[in-house]
Chain A
Amino acid sequence: MVASQHITGNALRTSYERQGDDLILQMGPQHPSTHGVLRLELVLDGELVKHVRPHIGYLHRCFEKHAEALTYPQVIPYTDRMDYVGAMCQELGYVLTVEKLMGLTELPPRLHYIRVLVAELQRIASHLLAVGTYGLDVGAITPFLWCFRDREKILDLFEWLSGARLLYNYLWIGGVAHDLPTGYLDRVREFVDYFEPRVQELNDLLSLNKIFIERTAHIGIMSPEVAISYGVGGPNLRGSGVRWDLRKEEPYCVYDQLDFGIPVGTGEHGPVGSAWDRYMVRVREMLESLNILRQVIARMPSGDPNAAMPRRIRPPEGDAYVRTESPRGEIGYYIVSDGSEKPFRCKGRSPCFTAISALNAISQGALLADAVAIVGSLDIVLGEVDR
C-alpha cells in the first residue's frame, strides 16, 4: 500500500491511478470512440462512473483570435473547420451574422432557398455520420458503412456545387460562390427519392433492433431540466422531450415559409431523454429534412442569387449576434465591428461545448462500458468544442 502510494505520488502520471478507493481512468485522447481528440478522466468506483471530467483543447486552433487578423470573407474557411462535418451550417451562421451587422436585408429569394437547400443537405449528412458512428460505438458496423454510402452521395452533390467535399467556403456574405449548376435540383430530387427508403432500412437494421434498444434506451438519461440548465441544444435537447428548434423559434432564411415538424424524444423504449431518444431524434430529423428539401426544390425561385452581394465587406461599427440551428444545436456568432475590414472580435458559441459540459451530469452512476455509448449519443465534434 505504502509502495503504491509512493508510485502514485510520482510526477509521472500513468494511464490510471488510485485515489483512495476510486480508480481514475484516462480515456483518450487517442480513443476510437471519442470522435476526435477528447480526453475523459473517469473516476470509477469499481465499474460505476462517479465523475467524468472532460479535458478539452487538443484541437484548439485559435479560431477567435485568428478571425481578428483576417478580413470578413477570409474567416469563412475557418468557420468551415470549426465543425468539419457540418460546415455549411457553420458558414450559414457566420454569414447571417455579418449580414445582420451590415444591415443586408434585401437579399434575393433564390439565395435564401439555396442556403436552406445546402443547410438541410448538410444536416442529413451530419446526422448520417452521427447515427452511423453511434452504431459503431455500440458495436454495429454495417449501419455505419451504409450511412457513409449515403453520406457520400451528399458529399458528391456538394462537390459538384462548390468544388470541395468537406470544407466548402460556399456561402458568402450576401451571396454564394456559384449559382446552382444546371440540373442540380434534379439530382437533389433523385437523392431525396433514393434516401427516403434508406431511412426505413436504417430503422430496421439498427434503430428498432432489440439489442441496440436494450443497449441504449436506459443509459445517459438527460432530463429536460438538466438539458435546459446546461444550455444544451439541438437533437440532444429535443431528445429530452423539449420542443425547441431555432428554425421555428427564430426563423432565419425562409424557414418560416416551410412546413416541417420537430421530432422530440418520446421515451418509447425507456425513460425520456435516453441515448436512444437522442439517436432517434436524429433519424426522424433526417426525414423532416427530406420534407424540407422537397418543398425547397418545388419552390426554388429563379434569378441571380448574388444580385445583392456587396463589393466591399466593411460593416459599420457595432455588434451582432445571430444564432442558427446547426445539426448539433444552437450555433451562434457574436461579432464586434470597429468599422474596418476585419472583425474586432468574433466569438463562436458552440453547441458541442455545452453538450460535453452536461456529460458529467448524465453519466453519473453509469457503467464504464456505457460511458462510451453516452459520449457517442451526444454527437460531439471536437473541432467545434475547441475551436
Chain B
Amino acid sequence: MWQYLVNIWDSVKTPLIGMRLTWRRLFTPSVTLQYPEERWDLPPNSRMQLFVNMDDCIGCAQCERACPVQCITIETVKAVPNEVEETSTGHKKRLHVAKFDIDMAKCCYCDLCTFPCPTECIYMTPSFEDSAPDRYGLLYHFAQITPEKAAELAEKAQKFDEAEEARKAAGRPAAAAV
C-alpha cells in the first residue's frame, strides 16, 4: 500500500521535474535556424562540392586513380612542345585535358582525390546547393576543350610525332657524321 502511494507520488513528481525544464527552455532563445532565410558559416574545408581549376590541371590523372568510386573520368591529348604552358605552381602542362568529367551523383565526398594532386587544382568547396532535377545535371564537365578541338589537337600531336620519327630516322646518320 505504501509502495503504491510512493509510486503515485513519483509518477507526479518526476514528470513535473521534466516539465520545469521544458518550461524554463521556453524562455531561452531558439537554437533552430530557419534554413533558406538564415544561414550559418561553414568551415572553409567543408566537403560539399568538387571543383577543378582547369588552368592548373596537368592531366596526370592521379585523382582518377585515387577515387574509390570512379566518379572522375579524364582523357588527355599530348601537347606539342610549342603549346606547353606552365601552371601557377610552375608545373609544365605536357598534356591537353580533353575530358575531365566528375559525376557528383557517384561522388562519395571522401576527399581522397584532393590529396595526391601535384598542383592542388582539384578541391572541395563549401557550396552545397547544387542539386539538380535529374542525374545528368550532376555530371560536371570541367574540360575547356571542345571535342572538335580535341580531335584537332590529337591530329596535330600525331603529325608532330610522325614528323619527329621521320626527322630522327633521317637525322641519325647526319648526326653521326657531325
Contact = CB atoms under 8 A, between A and B. Distances in A.
A167 interface: yes
Given A77-B110, A169-B112, A164 B17 contact: no
Chain B interface size range? 20 to 34
Interface stretch (A38-46, A208-216, A222-230, A249-257): A208-216
Interface string A201-219: 1001110111100100000
B21 A210 contact: no
Contacts of A160: 43, 45
B108 interface: yes
Contacts of A167: 108-110
- Residue among B13, B109, B124 having the largest count of chain A Cβ atoms under 10 Å: B109
A142 interface: yes
B14 A74 contact: no
Interface string A46-87: 000000000000000000000000100111111011000000
Contact of A205 (B7, B10, B18): B18
A172 to B, nearest CB: 9
Contact of B45 (A81, A163, A208): A163
Given A159-B42, A163-B43, A210-B10, A74 B15 contact: no
Interface in B33-76: 42-43, 45-47, 66, 68
Contact of B47 (A75, A164, A201, A208): A164
Given A159-B42, A178-B45, A210-B10, A204 B111 contact: no
A180 interface: no
Contacts of B45: 160, 162-163, 178
B18 A70 contact: no
B11 A77 contact: no
A149 interface: yes
Chain A interface size range? 20 to 34
Interface string B113-130: 001000000001000000
Contacts of A208: 14, 17
A209 to B, nearest CB: 5
A68 B72 CA distance: 21
Contacts of B31: 149
A214 B8 CA distance: 12
A80 B115 CA distance: 19
A73 B14 CA distance: 50
Contacts of A258: none
A163 B68 contact: no
B82 interface: no
A155 B108 CA distance: 18
Contacts of B111: 163-164, 169, 177
- Residue among A78, A178, A201, A209 having the largest count of chain B Cβ atoms under 10 Å: A209
Interface of A: 70, 73-78, 80-81, 142, 149, 159-160, 162-164, 167, 169, 177-178, 201, 204-206, 208-211, 214
Q: Which 10 A-B pairs have the closest CB atoms?
A: A77-B110, A74-B68, A163-B47, A210-B10, A163-B45, A169-B110, A205-B18, A210-B14, A210-B11, A209-B14
